[in-house]
Amino acid sequence: MLKQGETKDRQRDRWTERRRDREITFSSHRSFHAASKWLCRSVALSLCRSVPPIFLSLSFLAGCGGASDSNGEATLTLGAYTPPREAYSKAIIPEFQKHWKAKTGQEVEFQESYQGSGAQSRAITSGFEADIAALSLESDVTRIAEAGLIRHDWQANQYRGIVSTSLVVIAVRPGNPLGIRDWADLTRPGLKVLTPDPKTSGGAQWNIAAIYGAALRGYAGVPKGDPRAARGFLERVLLNVSIMDKGARESITNFEKGVGDVAVTYENEVLVGRQAGQKYDYVIPRSTILIENPVALVGAYVDKHGVRRVAEGFIDFLWTRDAQRVFARYGLRPVEAATAQEVAAQFQPAGDVWKIDFLGGWKRVSQDVFGANGVYTKSFEELHTAP
Amino acid sequence: MNATRAREYSPASVMPLPWGRWSLRAVALIWLGVMIALPVAVLLEHGLREGVVRFWAEITNPIALAAVKLTISAAAVMTLINAVMGTLTAYVLVRYRFFGSRLFNSLIDLPFAIPTLVTGVMLVLLYGPQRTLGAWLEARGIQVIFARPGIVLALLFITYPFVIRTVQPVLMAIEREQEEAAWTLGASRWRTFTRVILPMITPAIVSGSLLSFARALGEFGSIVVVAGNIPRSTLTAPVYVFGQIESQNQMGASAISILLLALSFALMLLVDWTQRKRGGEHVAG
Amino acid sequence: MSQARAEIEPQIELRPGARKRTERPRGLEWALVAVAILYPVALMAGPLLAIVWGALSSGFGAMARQLTSPEAVNALKLTLLLSFAATALNTVFGLVVALVLTRDNFRGRRALNGLIDLPFAFSPVIAGFTLILLFGRNGWFVNLIDALNLRVVFALPGMLVATTFISLPFVARAVAPVLRHVGQEQENVAYTMGAGYWRTFWSVTLPNIRWGLLYGVSLTFARAVGEFGAVLVVGGGVTRFTETATLYIYRSLDDRNEVGAYAMVLALAVISLCLLWVMEYARKHAQDE
Chain segment A38-85, per-residue pLDDT in tens: 554 554 555 555 445 544 444 444 334 443 445 678 999 999 988 888
Q: What gap in Å lies between CA C282 and CA B112, rounded to an integer? A: 15
pLDDT tens-digit readout, A261-285 = 999 998 988 998 888 888 889 999 9
Question: A74 lies in a domain?
Answer: no
Question: A138 lies in a domain?
Answer: no
Q: What gap in Å lies between CA A300 and CA A132, rounded to an integer? A: 11
Helix (H, G, I), strand (E, B) or coil at C57: coil
pLDDT(B16) > 80: no
Q: Where are the beta strands (DSSP E) in A88-131?
A: 107-114
Question: A99 lies in a domain?
Answer: no
pLDDT(A248) > 60: yes
Which domains, from first to last, does chain B contain?
19-48 (no CATH), 52-277 (1.10.3720.10)
Q: CB-based contact (8 Å) between C89 and chain A?
A: yes
Q: Which residues contact A294 (CB under 8 A, 6 or more apart)?
A: A134, A135, A137, A138, A141, A154, A155, A160, A161, A162, A163
The pLDDT of residue C20: 55
pLDDT tens-digit readout, B86-138 = 999 998 888 888 888 888 888 888 888 889 998 888 888 888 777 667 777 87
The pLDDT of residue A57: 47
Q: What is the mean pLDDT of residues C29-43?
A: 87
Q: What gap in Å lies between CA C227 and CA C83, rounded to an integer? A: 9
The pLDDT of residue A383: 82
pLDDT(A30) > 80: no
Contacts of B66 in chain A (CB under 8 A): 384-385
Residue of C nearest to A57 (CA): C156
pLDDT tens-digit readout, A343-366 = 988 888 888 899 999 999 998 998
Question: A276 lies in a domain?
Answer: yes
pLDDT-derived band of residue C60, with 50, 70 and 90 as boundaries?
confident
pLDDT-derived band of residue B285, with 50, 70 and 90 as boundaries?
very low
- Choose the weakest-confidence range: A12-26, B180-194, C82-96: A12-26
Distances (CA, A) of B178 to B94, B155, B170, B186, B203: 16, 36, 14, 13, 18
Contact C134 B39 (CB under 8 A): yes
Residue predicted with more confidence, C13 or A157: A157
pLDDT tens-digit readout, A155-204 = 998 899 999 999 999 999 999 999 999 999 999 999 999 998 887 788 88
CATH of the domain at A365: 3.40.190.10
Q: What gap in Å lies between CA B245 and CA B232, rounded to an integer? A: 20
Contacts of B42 in chain C (CB under 8 A): 130, 133-134, 139-140
Quote the number of domains for chain A.
Answer: 1
Q: What gap in Å lies between CA A383 and CA A239, rounded to an integer? A: 7
Q: What is the mean pLDDT of residues C260-268?
A: 90
Please give the model's pTM, rounded to 2 decimal places.
Answer: 0.83
Average pLDDT, chain B: 81
Residue of B nearest to C129 (CA): B245
Question: A332 lies in a domain?
Answer: no
The pLDDT of residue C117: 83
pLDDT(C282) > 80: yes
Q: What gap in Å lies between CA C85 and CA C80, rounded to an integer? A: 8
The pLDDT of residue A20: 67
Q: CB-based contact (8 Å) between A373 and chain B?
A: no
The pLDDT of residue B138: 75
Q: CB-based contact (8 Å) between B100 and chain A?
A: no
Q: What is the mean pLDDT of residues A376-381?
A: 88
- Choose the weakest-confidence range: A148-152, B212-216, B254-258, C50-54: C50-54
Average pLDDT, chain A: 83
Q: What gap in Å lies between CA A81 and CA A203, rounded to an integer? A: 9
Q: Which of B182-186, C1-5, C144-148 has the highest mean pLDDT?
A: C144-148
Quote the domain boundaries for residue A359: 178-288+354-385
pLDDT tens-digit readout, B216-259 = 998 998 898 888 777 667 889 998 888 888 776 788 889 999 99
Q: What gap in Å lies between CA A159 and CA A166, rounded to an integer? A: 15
Which class does domain C60-288 fall in?
mainly alpha
Residue of B16, B66, B129 lying closest to A258 (CB–CB): B129
